[in-house]
Structure 1
C-alpha cells in the first residue's frame, strides 16, 4: 500500500466517516458441519467465532467515525492516541487502530485491548465485550493471529480484523477469518472426564428451608427446597463465570430413604475444565507428553526447557495446584456467602475433590438422587449453546437428542440429563464418535 499509516487514517476519516463498510470485502458464511456425528469442539468454536465476526461486520454498516487521533488521558500517565473513534447503533463504542507493517501489528493489537480497558475505567459498569475493537493490519504475525482467536473466543471480546489492500488505487479492507488450524488446540478431550476437576460440597437438611422428599407423598423435593438449591448453584456459577472458570454447577439431594443414612444429603457439585490436567500435559525425564495435539505440547516443551532445573521439577504440579486452590476457594467462599444468617452461626459442611468419572457414575451420588438445574460457565456454556443452536438448525443431521427434542430450545438449557449427555458426547475424541 502506497499510503503511510497517517495518510491512510486521514483517508478513512475524510472519505469514509459514515460508510467504512463499503470498503469491506471477503465476508463469507460461517463454517458448516454436515455429518451426523458429534462435531469436534474446534468446529463449534470456529463457527461461533465466525458468527460473531459477521455480527460485528453488520454493526459496522451503521458506524459513524467521529474523531481521529483521539487523546486518552489518565491522571499521572502519559497521553495516548487512538487512530479512529466512533460509534454505531448496533455495536456502540468502536475503536479502530491501523498498522501497515508486520513489525508493528502486535503493538497495535495490544494498544486496542488497552484502549478498550480505558473506556471501561472511565465508564464504570461497561465491559470490554461491549466495545467493538477493529484492527486494520496485515495479520501476518502468528502471535497476533493466535491472540485474536483467544480474545474473540475464550475471552468474549468484540474484535474484527481487516487486512488493508491497494489494488491499482482501489482501497479495500479484507475480512480476516482465522483458518481452522487456529482452533486445533481446542481438542475434544478438553471435556474428557480426566480433564475435569471436581469440587463437591455436602451439607445437611435445613428444616423448613431445605427439606427432603419425605415430606411429600409423591417423593418429590418441596418446591422451596428446589428453589433454594438452584439459587445456590446459580450464585456459585456467577462467581466462577466472573473469575474465568469453565465449569458446570448443579445441586442434588439424595432420595429421602437413602439420605437418612447420610449426615449431609445435600450436594453442590462443580466440575471445571482443568487447563493443567496431567492427562493432557505431563512431564517425564524432561519430556512433555500427554493426550494432546503435538504442536501444543511442543510449545509447552519450549517453555519448560528454558526453566532452571529446580523450577522444572515442580512447575506443572505447581501451576495445577494453584488452579485447584483458586477453584476451591471460589466455590467455598460463594457457598458460605449463601448461608450467612442473622445470628452469625455457620452451616456445617464438607468439601471434597472426587474423581469426576467416579462421581458422576456413582449410584449413591448420581443415581439415587434428585438432580436439579445445571448451570454452565465460560467455554462450556459457549460450546453447549452453539451445539444446541446447531441441532435446532439441522435436526435431520443430529445424532443425539433428536426424537425427544423439545419444541423450544429454552427447555434444553437447565435440564440435567441433556446437558450431561451432550457434553459427554462432545468430549469424545473424534476416533471415538
Structure 2
C-alpha cells in the first residue's frame, strides 16, 4: 500500500525533536557574477540574475528551516462563522519570532492545491497577528515539485511577492516510511522562464503620464536656470510616494518626476509611471510559443489574435461558450491602475491649507513610444527614478554583478560600462534615471542576443 500524506505528517511529527535530521545536506549554487573570465559579463541575462536572487533567498530560508522546532500537528485554524482549515504542521525558529507553516503533498496531482491552502493558512495567521511582515511567516512545502505550475508559483512568490517560500521533496524506498528523507528543491534555469522570456520587451511596458500646472516652490519661471536642489528634493518626494503605492500593489515598473524646459508651452510638472502590463506579457509569450516568432527580431508584433481561451483554455467549457473575449479589455484597461496611483499621489502631495487647485492633464502609451517623443522625453529634466517589483529585484541583481566584475577586471571590457562613467558607490547609481535607462536598454539587448527555446516560454 502506498504511503499517504497522513503517514508522512505523523512520521515527521513523531520525530519532532529531530525532524530537521530528515533534511538532506544541500549547497545551493553560488551566485554567478560572470567574472571568471573577462568577457563572461557578455553572457549575463535576466534569467541568470533572477536565479542569483532565488539562490540567495533559498540559502537564507534553508538556515531558518534547519534551526526550526515543530510546535503543532494537525492544527485547526478557525474563525467564527468560517469553515475550518487545517495546517499539517507548524514550526518556529529560535530568534526569528515567527511561524513556519508546513504543507504536505505527496503527488503531482495534489501539489497543485498546495499554494491555495498555504496562502489560506497564512492569511489566517496574519489575521490573528495583525501587522505581521512577510518575514514573520515562512511557507514550507513538502512536495514532489513535479508540476511546472508549482515550481513557477514558488519562484514568483520568492521574487515577485517576496514571500519566504521553501520546498522539500519527500523520498522513500519500498513504501517504507522509515526510509523517508527530505531533499531541498533547487530551481533550474528553465523554471524561471516565465519571469524572463518576453517580459522585458519595451512593448509590454505601459506609461501613464500625469501633468499639472505651476506650483510655488516646485518650478522656476526663468528659462535660463536649472532647478535648485530644494526643488528637486520636493518633487522627488512624489516619486517616492508613488513607488510605495506601486510596491503595495506588486507592480513591476518604475516612476519618476519630469519637468519640461521652461520655454516649452507645456504643463510644468509630470509624474511618469511605468508598469509591466501582465496581459501583454501573457499574449507575447503565447505568440512566441504558438508561432515561433523571434520577438527580438520583429519590428511590428501583432498580438491581437491571442484570446483569453488561448491563455486559459479551461474557460472554454460546456458551461461557458461565450464568443465575447475579455483579454484585450484586460490589457487596455490595466493602465487604469497606473492612472489611479498617479491621481492618488497628486492629490496627496498637493493637498494644502488654502484649498488651491491645479489644472491637470494626462496621457498613456508604451515606453517604446514615449521615448520617441522629443517634447515628452527629450526636452525635459528627468529626476530620480524609483524601480519597483521585479525590475527593482533585477536592477539590484545587475548592480551587484557589475560591481563584482568591476572590482576584478575594471571597466575597459565591460559590456556596457566600458566608458568608465560609473560611480564608486551603488547609492549614486540607484536613483539615476540615465543609469536606469541604460539598464532597461541592456535588458532588451541581452535578451535580443540571448537565444532561448520557445518551448520554455
Q: Is the structural similarity TM-score above 0.5?
A: yes
Shift of 1:22: 5.8
Q: Does 1:230 align with 2:233?
A: no
Counterpart pick for 1:399 among 412, 415, 426 = 415
Q: Distance in 2 between matches of 1:204 and 1:174?
A: 60
Equivalence for 2:23: 23
Pairing 1:20-419 to 2, within 5 Å after superposition: 20=20, 23-30=23-30, 32=32, 34=34, 35-37=40-42, 39-88=44-93, 89-90=95-96, 92-128=98-134, 130-167=136-173, 169-187=178-196, 189-207=198-216, 209-212=217-220, 214=222, 219-255=225-261, 259-277=262-280, 281=284, 301=310, 303=312, 306=316, 308=321, 310-312=323-325, 315-395=326-406, 396=409, 398-401=414-417, 403-419=420-436
3-state SS of 1:249 partner: strand
Shift of 1:289: 8.6
3-state SS of 1:311 partner: coil
> Could you say if the C-alpha distance between residues 12 and 42 of structure 1 is closer, same or farther in structure 2, counting changes exceeding 3 Å?
same
Shift of 1:131: 1.3
- TM normalised by structure 2 equals 0.82
Q: Distance in 2 between matches of 1:385 and 1:291?
A: 28
Equivalence for 1:420: 437
Q: Residue by residue, what CA displacement relative to the aligned partner does 1:312-339 show, whole Å, maximum 9, x if unpaired?
A: 3xx3321112212222122222222221
Q: Does the 8 Å CA contact 1:278/1:290 hold for their aligned counterparts?
A: no
Q: Residue by residue, what CA displacement relative to the aligned partner does 1:366-403 show, whole Å, maximum 9, x if unpaired?
A: 33332211001111111111111111223338422363
Q: Does the 8 Å CA contact 1:250/1:268 hold for their aligned counterparts?
A: yes
Shift of 1:20: 1.0
Q: Distance in 2 between matches of 1:275 and 1:20?
A: 39
3-state SS of 2:273 partner: strand
- TM normalised by structure 1 equals 0.86
Aligned-residue Cα RMSD (Å) equals 3.2
3-state SS of 1:310 partner: coil
Q: Distance in 1 between matches of 2:67 and 2:334?
A: 43
Q: Residue by residue, what CA displacement relative to the aligned partner does 1:144-170 show, whole Å, maximum 9, x if unpaired?
A: 223222222222221111011225854
3-state SS of 2:336 partner: helix
Paired residues, what number? 420
Shift of 1:36: 2.2
Q: Distance in 1 between matches of 2:330 and 2:66?
A: 45
Unpaired segments of 5 or more residues in structure 2? 35-39, 297-305, 451-457
> Could you say if the C-alpha distance between residues 360 and 65 of structure 1 is closer, same or farther in structure 2, counting changes exceeding 3 Å?
same
Unpaired segments of 5 or more residues in structure 1? none
